[in-house]
Amino acid sequence: MLYIVIVFGLIIGSFLNVCIYRIPQKRSLLGLRSKCPQCDNNIAWYDNIPVFSFIFLRGKCRKCQSKISFRYPLVEILSAVISGLLFWRYGWQPLFLINLVLAYAMLVITFIDWQFMLIPNSILLFTLFSGIAMNIIFETLSWVNSIVGLFLAGGLFYLINIVASKILKRDSMGMGDVKFAAVIGFFLGYKLMLIALYFGFVIALLYIIGSKLLRIDIKNRMIPMAPFFSMGVLIILIWGQQIIRAYVRLILY
């Protein structure tokens, strides 16, 4: 079953690539065949097999020989790995499906935000309403915990945005990040949400420090926070209970 879930993740990863490419352009996700962005030729089904087609084509379009972005196999591999890890953690239970929806949405948001500094409302609304609908069906999440998490995360980030903007005299965080944090708060609840966002800030700080050590100039580029928050959320979704138990043991002993 784990192998089936991983293959499913590869296939979904191919669709997530379509979302990453088309949503910022406000193009339809359905009813349109995949085309090469350079020569505009339709991509045959045998050239659209996740990961393997990229390898067989040596990262180039069959028709025009233009390079295919490495993002495509990367997203497919990440989708497969994340799917497998979540199944390994939760097995066949409703929480696996709910967290899988969140993970796929975060993967799309991560790549769009990194490239365009944009978190589309359409993805956030779809993710939130999917979570609400699935919780109505499966009754897995605590409604009180989720609603408190939603408003607490959104309010906390909105406050951070206002304070940081006044101190730095410029926008420090977009409203997309505020809404993204609210959606995370709904899925995780307020306790796990705070831990996940803490990890997100730590990872972002490590990225900044690493960039300085490697002398990568990031001064003129705003840092998208969604990718780092997504990493923090994944850490909690997969290893959250172990982290909490380790923290409690550290405090008690």
Report the amino acid identity of residue 2. Answer: L
Question: Tens digits of per-residue pLDDT, 37-94?
Answer: 778 778 877 878 889 888 888 888 888 888 888 999 999 999 999 999 999 999 999 9
Q: Over range 15-22, report the average pLDDT.
A: 92
Q: Is 159 exposed, middle or buried (0-12, 13-18, 19+ CB in 10 A)?
A: exposed
Q: Where are the alpha helices (DSSP H) in the chain?
A: 2-22, 52-56, 71-90, 94-116, 121-138, 143-168, 175-213, 226-252
**Residue located via tokens 């300085």:** 212
Fill in the DSSP letter of residue 31: S
Question: Tens digits of per-residue pLDDT, 128-148?
Answer: 999 999 999 998 889 999 999
DSSP codes joined into one string, 166-207: HHHTS--S-HHHHHHHHHHHHHHHHHHHHHHHHHHHHHHHHH
* Cβ neighbours of 192 (radius 10 Å): 21
Least confident of 66-80, 106-120, 214-228: 214-228
